[in-house]
A and B are shown apart, each in its own frame.
Chain A
């Protein structure tokens, strides 16, 4: 079979990297980065995922088509999340013609129900 053989050393290194990332993300969660806290957590998760997909799952050494197949699911998930959140993030932001409500920074968080 044609699949490329990767040395176990690489695998162990990747695993070490994963563990370090896990440690990092755990540590980061103990510190308050404000709005960046979730961003950091998700970015680290994405890096972890890429390590697993590219090395453990051999995508890095596979055909272009495999890349496309591997990306498709995530791309479509992004479509679903983006457009749906597009709804929830903008709910209640059309100001009625009613002028009695003053111009004010409308808090979408609690308006969006």
Chain B
């Protein structure tokens, strides 16, 4: 969205205007993302209300430890991302690259844990379909459909984020950014924080709210 050079694109009058436009543009994009995820969240809330018992039961079969660890990992990656943007702002290019790589590593950790978790669901016959078993929760299948759809969509965003941050790291390594121009890093950062926020809500919805209620 933002031009990958220092120059001001011809439709703009100042770099100020260009930066503000890109910044607001990304926020508008995040608003659409909120509603995109919102559709599934809504479905989850509706069904949790309608099939309360089943959802509570099924939700207790998720692995709280993995969920919590992953939340911590993502929250930390948000910190490293923020620090990366800070490094860009003050022109510490080495730090920028380091923090970007750290963020990517954390994201990969997240995906790894998610993978293990998925594998365990598979072993426990919790993949919806003919082999699905969940005693006592007739709509447990529905819960797991949501579980996989929501975490799957989120994981897709994490993967996109990893790609985006890798490009940023590469560009940073080539010294493309300086304190006067780091919009792409900043915007990737916004996107990454957004992915974190989605998880901040997925975590209680999937793992927590039904533990004791």
How many Å lie between the Cα of A110 and that of B49 in the bound state? 9
Interface residues of A (CB under 8 A from B): 1-3, 5-6, 8, 11-12, 14-15, 18-19, 22, 25-26, 28-35, 37-38, 41-42, 44-45, 48-49, 52-53, 55-57, 62-63, 65-66, 69-70, 72-74, 76-77, 80-81, 84-85, 88-89, 109, 112-113
Q: Is the CB of A11 within 8 A of B79?
A: yes
Number of A-B contacts (CB under 8 A): 158
Partner of A66, one of B19, B23, B179: B23
| Residues of B142-180 contacting chain A, CB below 8 A | 179-180
Q: Is the interface of B mostly helix, strand, loop or mixed?
A: helix
How many Å lie between the Cα of A88 and that of B16 in the bound state? 48
Residues of B within 8 A of A5 (CB): 86, 89-90
How many Å lie between the Cα of A32 and that of B213 in the bound state? 7
Q: Say yes or no: is B118 at the interface (Cβ < 8 Å to chain A).
A: no
Given contacts A45-B201, A73-B32, contact A80 B193 (CB under 8 A): no
Residues of B within 8 A of A31 (CB): 212
Q: Is the interface of A mostly helix, strand, loop or mixed?
A: helix
Distance between B86 CB and nearest chain A CB, rounded to angstroms = 6
Chain B, interface size category, equals: 35 or more
How many Å lie between the Cα of A30 and that of B35 in the bound state? 31
Residues of A within 8 A of B105 (CB): none
Q: Is the CB of A113 within 8 A of B208?
A: no
Q: Say yes or no: is B111 at the interface (Cβ < 8 Å to chain A).
A: no
Given contacts A29-B211, A30-B211, A37-B212, contact A57 B32 (CB under 8 A): no
Would you list 30 pairs from A and B whose C-beta atoms are within 8 A, ordered by A residue?
A: A1-B16, A1-B19, A3-B186, A11-B79, A15-B76, A22-B72, A25-B208, A26-B64, A26-B68, A28-B208, A29-B204, A31-B212, A33-B212, A38-B209, A41-B208, A41-B209, A45-B200, A49-B201, A52-B78, A56-B81, A56-B82, A73-B33, A76-B35, A77-B34, A80-B42, A81-B41, A84-B46, A85-B45, A88-B46, A109-B49
Q: Is the CB of B181 within 8 A of A1?
A: yes
Q: Is the CB of B78 within 8 A of A80?
A: no
Given contacts A38-B209, A52-B196, A80-B38, contact A11 B45 (CB under 8 A): no
